């Protein structure tokens, strides 16, 4: 049974990682870190795991940004479980820290609010992309590095 699980993991590992990472930054309150750790500890390519998880999580954030950009606060509150209070807090953080705040969209509880607020504030998508991608990359690099070295 364990052999079958490992064989299936090998066959669909990167696709599963991409989907999990994408969904983790959109509508589902789940984390992709566990799968990253399992893949790294199972000998999967370090760089491939980091990049697949980064790209999946970044594209999920782009989805949230787009919904915010279109002003769909009803969808954000209902499906993303981001309250109006969280959005106001993220807006005030943008006033204080500027786009640098986007480096922290990976944080639990507030990351999705930061992403949605970035869209609602109509931040330049290029700036959004640079900061969010760097933040996501650093997160997955750190998780993968720790999984490999601990």
pTM for the whole structure: 0.87
| CA-based nearest residue to 52, from 20, 81, 6, 83 | 20
| pLDDT over threshold 90, residue 58 | yes
Helix %, strand %, coil % of the chain (to 5):
80, 0, 20
* 70, HSE (Cβ side, Cα atoms, 13 Å): 9
> What pLDDT is stored for residue 3 in this prediction?
58
> What pLDDT is stored for residue 137 in this prediction?
98
Query: How far, in whole angstroms, is CA 8 from its chain's centroid?
Result: 24
Q: Please say whether the beta carbons of 128 and 65 come within 8 A.
A: yes
- Residue 24 and residue 2: Cα distance in Å, rounded? 26
| pLDDT over threshold 80, residue 81 | no
* More confident of the two residues 142 and 106: 142
Comparing 29-33, 55-59, 61-65, the range with the smallest average pLDDT is 29-33
Start-to-end CA span in the chain (Å): 27
Structure tokens at 130: 């640079």
- Scan for tokens 């599963």, then name that residue: 16
| pLDDT over threshold 70, residue 8 | no
- Residue 18 and residue 72: Cα distance in Å, rounded? 25
> What are the Cα distances from residue 92, in Å, to 56, 89, 125?
28, 5, 19
Burial of 125 (0-12, 13-18, 19+ CB in 10 A): middle
| pLDDT over threshold 60, residue 6 | no
């Amino acid at each position: 049974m364990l052999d079958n699980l490992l064989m299936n993991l090998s066959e669909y590992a990167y696709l599963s990682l991409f989907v999990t990472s994408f969904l983790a930054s959109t509508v589902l309150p789940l984390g992709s870190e566990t799968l990253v750790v399992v893949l790294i500890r199972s000998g999967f390519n370090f760089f491939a795991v980091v990049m697949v998880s980064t790209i999946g999580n970044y594209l999920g954030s782009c989805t949230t940004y787009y919904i915010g950009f279109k002003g769909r606060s009803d969808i954000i509150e209902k499906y993303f479980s981001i309250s109006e209070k969280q959005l106001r807090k993220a807006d005030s953080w943008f006033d204080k820290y500027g786009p640098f705040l986007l480096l922290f969209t990976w944080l639990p509880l507030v990351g999705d609010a930061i992403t949605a607020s970035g869209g609602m504030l109509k931040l330049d998508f290029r700036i959004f992309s640079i900061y969010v991608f760097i933040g996501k990359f650093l997160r997955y690099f750190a998780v993968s590095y720790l999984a490999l070295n601990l």
